[in-house]
């Protein structure tokens, strides 16, 4: 598997509260929120706990779920014991690749995509007010991308004692390409453009760079983070 990744502070934020993990078999992005430096603390903790807790004996999907629940407990506990961290939270979108399977665990509005052949598929649902409205048919994709409330999450890690982890799994095929990204990308770059970029770039690092550059060229209002993985095609 080949991996590319990049995170950028963007053009108007003072700190980068996005964090990423690109250590196969684990890939993840986290987009922190909260006053002062608290957003960074939350996203950093999410990635750290995930990395620490995800290896081990249980079935992969259960392990991933337990790691994300553990991250939630730890961030919530700190948010409620340290006033500097009050109200902090983070998204977390993680993919564990094991035994030719991809296990996806997700909380918040970062995204994971699968590019297979000519098609791109979202592997996660945006857990946001605007995401709900879109699924109910009240908003189009284009309307959702510019909606003033698009940053309001219905769920995040660390803000409540309990979270519902969205879990998906599917068999990986040779040639599959995966993208994990924060909303700093997807509020400015459409799914079709992500597909075109991955189909055109032979190297995942070039694809990650091009996607981040696209978001920056269009304003880069938020931190932008992208992790790209290319599963090798069958050779011969």
**Which residues would be at the binding site for Mg ion (CB under 5 A)?**
31, 182-184, 222
CB 144 within 8 A of CB 134: yes
- Residue 227, SS3? strand
Residue 210's nearest CA partner among 201, 221, 219 is 201
Torsion of the alpha carbons at 34, 209, 226 and 147, rounded to the nearest 10: 60
Least Å distance, CB 222 to Mg ion, is 4
Measured CA to CA, the distance from residue 88 to residue 156 in angstroms comes to 9
* Strand bridging mode 101-107 / 111-116: unpaired
Nearer to Mg ion, 61 or 90 (CB): 90
Nearer to Mg ion, 188 or 229 (CB): 188
Least Å distance, CB 184 to Mg ion, is 5
Least Å distance, CB 78 to Mg ion, is 21
Measured CA to CA, the distance from residue 138 to residue 220 in angstroms comes to 27
Least Å distance, CB 68 to Mg ion, is 19
Nearer to Mg ion, 31 or 176 (CB): 31
**What's the helix, strand, coil split of the chain in %, to 5?**
35, 30, 35
Residue with tokens 């040779």: 174
Nearer to Mg ion, 24 or 87 (CB): 87
CA distances from 144 to 29, 119, 151, 215 (A): 21, 22, 10, 17
Least Å distance, CB 186 to Mg ion, is 9
Other C-beta atoms closer than 10 Å to the C-beta of 204 total 23
Nearer to Mg ion, 8 or 183 (CB): 183
Nearer to Mg ion, 54 or 129 (CB): 129
| Element housing 207 (H / E) | helix 204-217
Residue 51's nearest CA partner among 19, 6, 21 is 21
Least Å distance, CB 136 to Mg ion, is 23
Nearer to Mg ion, 72 or 182 (CB): 182
Least Å distance, CB 192 to Mg ion, is 21
């Amino acid at each position: 598997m080949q991996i590319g990744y990049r995170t950028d502070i963007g053009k108007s934020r003072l700190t980068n509260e996005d964090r990423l993990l690109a250590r196969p078999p684990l890939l993840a992005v986290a987009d922190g929120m909260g006053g002062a430096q608290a957003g960074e603390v939350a996203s950093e903790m999410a990635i750290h706990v995930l990395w620490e807790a995800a290896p081990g004996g249980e079935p992969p999907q259960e392990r991933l779920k337990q790691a994300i629940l553990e991250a939630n407990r730890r961030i919530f506990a700190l948010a409620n014991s340290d006033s500097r961290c009050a109200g902090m939270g983070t998204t977390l979108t993680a993919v564990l690749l094991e035994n030719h399977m991809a296990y996806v665990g997700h909380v918040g509005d970062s995204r994971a995509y699968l590019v297979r052949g000519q098609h791109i598929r979202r592997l996660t649902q945006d857990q946001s007010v605007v995401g709900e409205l879109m699924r109910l048919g009240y908003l189009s994709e284009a309307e959702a991308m510019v909606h003033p409330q698009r940053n309001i999450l219905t769920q995040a890690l660390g803000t409540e004692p309990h979270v519902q982890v969205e879990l998906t799994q599917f068999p990986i095929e040779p040639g599959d390409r995966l993208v994990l990204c924060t909303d700093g990308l997807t509020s400015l770059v459409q799914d079709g453009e992500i597909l075109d970029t991955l189909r055109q770039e032979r190297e995942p690092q070039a694809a990650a760079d091009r996607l981040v550059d696209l978001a920056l060229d269009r304003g880069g209002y938020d931190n932008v983070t992208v992790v790209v993985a290319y599963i090798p095609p069958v050779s011969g």
